[in-house]
A and B are shown apart, each in its own frame.
Chain A
């Protein structure tokens, strides 16, 4: 199976380690990625605001989900507090922008840095505890931060929330979906390239070693405490940037957006997409964002045929989302990224696939 998925076309070969660790294994995959970004760049011309809205959602959620995947999928830890970091980034960016007059475009990465600091503090217990115990420790962080959002009036506006100014660049206000789409797209490309490169670096390999066998990693000289906390920091940076993008898109930040439910959704995204897969993260995010929308449409179609059951359909929709996730985990436990590999292999080896 793996042979089919990773095998290269005739005439493609590698002669150095450097070539073996390029971001795109084949010229074809690189061309496809570039074409994909170009296609997205022209897509606002064809798409309606509703579709752009969904793409923007996939964008900022995808950035945050990648952070969680680096923590869970690559370094083998767990966090149930990712939504709180996402929220912290959102509040921080609005706060930096409105209190210090720093332009939004700079406030977004700064919010990421602030969130990194918070994430590293929360990650300190990770130096000592693992597994379910770590999950509960991060759950505590989720609740502490949520309560902080509700009380820290100077920072978050308290329970009333705070307004986030729109992003403006070169005199243009990025208030429309079309304009903001490009901002999010640029951030997605940059953050995903950074993420991919991180995994190819010395630090990235240390994280993976930590995940696969922490004892061996330690014997090889990897500082476990440092890398565990670093993983939390990087993960929070992504969450913070994603949250900041969300804040300036909606224009309003309120504590109620960042509940434990969102944390679980983030986990769902990376599990469905594929743990330890960069591309899978984006696929999983797209799946989780699109599923309710598709169900909504499906429910509308059914309602046209059976008008009497509209009331019940809202519940059917919720249940169907749950069911889809369960079925996914049964039939594709390795995530969408794996399914994508299989599909590619099928075409590559056609008609001799097995």
Chain B
């Protein structure tokens, strides 16, 4: 009798153990490090919502070959140590295959960790330092084999701004040497493109001025605007996020600076227009995906994804939302490819991403830019769409000025 009940208990226990492992095997663990609070929250909320909605939409539509994505979202307030602590917690519990990350400081700090643990890290940091998987490029400080990101790198975005500025200078028939200045906080994210972009500006015939520091936390920046005016810069590159840029633009409008501002991919968006007002008129910025409501085939999917968190479907999404969705869809396609091969593991997803050539997720045609990653090159795209804000008394327009296609130079990897 005792023997029998023991066997049945053992059977039940074994069954329970089996079913729980089966459950875990069914779901694909993915970590999402978001910045809903902290200095970059203005853009972090938009991008993070894109990630959330896209994953929810994929799960609602059959997951990845029937397997659901088990996502854990942590708001880390843009504090790198908190990101590392979260990462450590994940590696001893969730064991994610892919992490959708956020900032440059934490992403760059985690490079060696994710390489060791073989976790694909898709960041919202587009730091050029993450583009060299082998470490062979002379400019690379450390190889980043498991790091990927969607969109042009910060360095490429800034180079495109310089290329546009050169064209603008010539179009306006100006003579002499144009002056270029990098402005941003002393923080890994604004610093990421600094050296590469200043180098490029010099090679394009600009006079590069000493960089000016202004805080990532929005606040008065009249002091910096006065320095900018004194230096007589013609083009100023703003390397911070929109929240901080708005306060700088307004401060500079008060001071009366007539520099042409250009910024990075996080530096300006639809939600910044009203806050910046007249001061934001004329700012030029790179865009990494189609805009909300663009007349492209993939926009239907974007609208359906948006309804995951906005059932009315009326809310319009700012630029960063589309990049968040694209990041998730490239991850999904890589997971699908991995599932067809040896299964969804970190190394397989990495290999799948590195096998993509001019790839665009099928449902997002026209929204996401085509990306190519190889085992030697993680600079997914070199195309940068350049837009300009026309404030127009509040009825603003984002005018597409040009598309810059930068050379795919090997010595620009990791830089």
Contact = CB atoms under 8 A, between A and B. Distances in A.
Contacts of B80: 161, 252, 254, 256
Contacts of A53: 89
A151 B185 CA distance: 12
Given A252-B84, A257-B81, A163 B109 contact: yes
A161 B108 CA distance: 10
A254 B113 contact: no
A159 B189 CA distance: 10
A250 B81 contact: yes
A176 B105 CA distance: 24
Contacts of A256: 79-81, 105
Nearest to A314: B37
A250 B84 contact: yes
A160 to B, nearest CB: 5
Given A252-B81, A252-B84, A254-B80, A151 B186 contact: yes
Contact of B187 (A49, A159, A251): A159
Contacts of A49: 89, 92-93
A180 to B, nearest CB: 11
Contacts of B188: 159-160
A304 B191 CA distance: 43
A150 B89 CA distance: 27
B112 interface: yes
Contacts of A257: 79, 81
B186 A160 contact: no
A14 B169 CA distance: 91
Contact of B186 (A159, A250, A254): A159
B105 A161 contact: yes
A254 B105 CA distance: 9
A344 B43 CA distance: 54
Nearest to A177: B92
Contacts of A254: 80-81, 105, 109
Interface in B107-123: 108-109, 112-113
Given A161-B80, A256-B79, A250 B85 contact: yes
Interface in B64-113: 79-81, 84-85, 88-89, 92-93, 105, 108-109, 112-113
Interface string A130-158: 00000000000000000000110000001
Interface in A57-85: none
Interface string A239-280: 000000000001110101100000000000000000000000
A251 B110 CA distance: 10
Contact of B105 (A151, A159, A163, A250): A159
A315 to B, nearest CB: 11
Contact of B109 (A158, A161, A176): A161
Nearest to B113: A251
A173 B80 CA distance: 24
Nearest to A175: B88
A160 B79 contact: no
Contacts of B92: 49, 176-177
A248 to B, nearest CB: 13
A119 B80 CA distance: 26
Contacts of A176: 92
A163 B89 CA distance: 18
A161 B109 CA distance: 8
A170 B387 CA distance: 59
B81 A163 contact: no
Contacts of B84: 250-252
B171 to A, nearest CB: 37
Contacts of B113: 251
Nearest to B93: A49
B90 to A, nearest CB: 12
Interface string B172-209: 00000000000000111001000000000000000000
Nearest to B190: A159
Nearest to B37: A314
A123 B84 CA distance: 33
Contact of A160 (B81, B93, B105, B112): B105
B34 to A, nearest CB: 14
A161 B107 CA distance: 12
Contacts of B191: 159-160
A151 B89 CA distance: 30
Contacts of B186: 150-151, 158-159
Nearest to B84: A252
Nearest to A257: B81
Q: Max chain B CB contacts within 10 Å: which of A151, A160, A250, A251?
A: A160
Interface in A295-313: none
Contacts of B187: 159
B94 to A, nearest CB: 12
A115 to B, nearest CB: 19
Nearest to A176: B92
Interface of A: 49, 53, 150-151, 158-161, 163, 176-177, 250-252, 254, 256-257
27 contacts: A49-B89, A49-B92, A53-B89, A151-B186, A159-B105, A159-B187, A159-B188, A159-B191, A160-B109, A160-B188, A160-B191, A161-B80, A161-B105, A161-B109, A163-B109, A163-B112, A177-B92, A250-B85, A250-B88, A251-B84, A252-B80, A252-B109, A254-B105, A256-B79, A256-B81, A257-B79, A257-B81
Interface of B: 79-81, 84-85, 88-89, 92-93, 105, 108-109, 112-113, 186-188, 191
